[in-house]
Structure 1
Amino acid sequence: MAVLVPDITNPFYFDIIRGTQNQLKAAGYTQLLVDTEESAEMELDALQKMRKSADGFILAASRLSDEQLDNVSGSQPLVTINRASANAPTVVIDTPSAMIQALEHLVSLGHHSVCYVSGPPKSWSNSMRWKIFEDDSRQRGLETHRIGPFVPKTTSGAAAADAAVRTGATACIVFNDLLAIGMLQRFRERGIRVPEDISIVGCDDIFGADFCHPPLTTIASPIEQAGRVAVSMLLSQLNPIYSGSSRKLAVMPTHLTVRGSTGPAPDRKSG
Structure 2
Amino acid sequence: MRSDGDNEAGESVTIYDVAAEAGVAASTVSRTFSRPGRVSYSTAEKVRAAAERIGYRTEAVARASAAGGSATKTLGLVVADIANPVFIEMVRGAEYAASQAGLTVVFSNARENGKREYEALNRALPTVDGLLLAGSRLPDTTIRTVAKQKAMVVMNREVRGVASVVIDQREGARTAAEHLASHGARSIAYLSGPERSWADGMRWTGVRDAAAALGIEARRLGPFLPTMTGGQRAAETWLGSRTDGVIAYNDLMALSFMQTVQIRGLEVPDDVGIVGFDDLLASRLTRPQLSTVVGPLERMGATAAAHVMAIANGAQATTDRPVVMPARLIARGSSEPQP
TM-score band, normalised by shorter chain: over 0.9
Q: Which amino acid aligns with 1:43?
A: E
| Deviation for aligned residue 1:167 | 2.1
- In structure 2, the partner of 1:47 is 121
1:150 aligns with 2:224: yes
Unaligned 5+ runs, structure 1: 265-271
1:137 aligns with 2:211: yes
Q: Which amino acid aligns with 1:262?
A: S
- In structure 2, the partner of 1:26 is 100
| Deviation for aligned residue 1:233 | 0.7
- In structure 2, the partner of 1:9 is 83
TM-score of the superposed pair, with normalisation by structure 1? 0.92
| Deviation for aligned residue 1:26 | 0.7
Cα separation, 1, equivalents of 2:160 and 2:218 = 31
Q: Which moved more, 1:112-121 or 1:45-54?
A: 45-54
Assess if the C-alpha contact under 8 Å between 1:6 and 1:39 holds in 2.
Answer: yes
Assess if the C-alpha contact under 8 Å between 1:93 and 1:251 holds in 2.
Answer: yes
The CA RMSD measured in Å over matched residues stands at 1.4
Work out which of the residue numbers 226, 240, 256 in structure 1 matches 2:329: 256
Cα separation, 2, equivalents of 1:196 and 1:204 = 23
Provide Cα deviations, 1:107-129, integer angstroms capped at 9, x if missing partner.
11111110000000010111111
| Deviation for aligned residue 1:247 | 4.0
- In structure 1, the partner of 2:266 is 192
Provide Cα deviations, 1:195-246, integer angstroms capped at 9, x if missing partner.
1111110001122211122110000111100000001110111125xx49x6
1:154-169 pair list within 5 angstroms: 154-169=228-243
Q: Choose 1 or 2 for highest CA Rg.
A: 2
Cα separation, 1, equivalents of 2:230 and 2:170 = 24
1:101-250 pair list within 5 angstroms: 101-240=175-314, 243=315, 247-248=318-319, 249-250=322-323
Unaligned 5+ runs, structure 2: 1-74
SS across alignment from 2:176: helix
1:59-78 pair list within 5 angstroms: 59-78=133-152
Assess if the C-alpha contact under 8 Å between 2:76 and 2:131 holds in 1.
Answer: yes
Q: Which amino acid aligns with 2:207?
A: F
TM-score of the superposed pair, with normalisation by structure 2? 0.74
Cα separation, 2, equivalents of 1:33 and 1:209 = 27
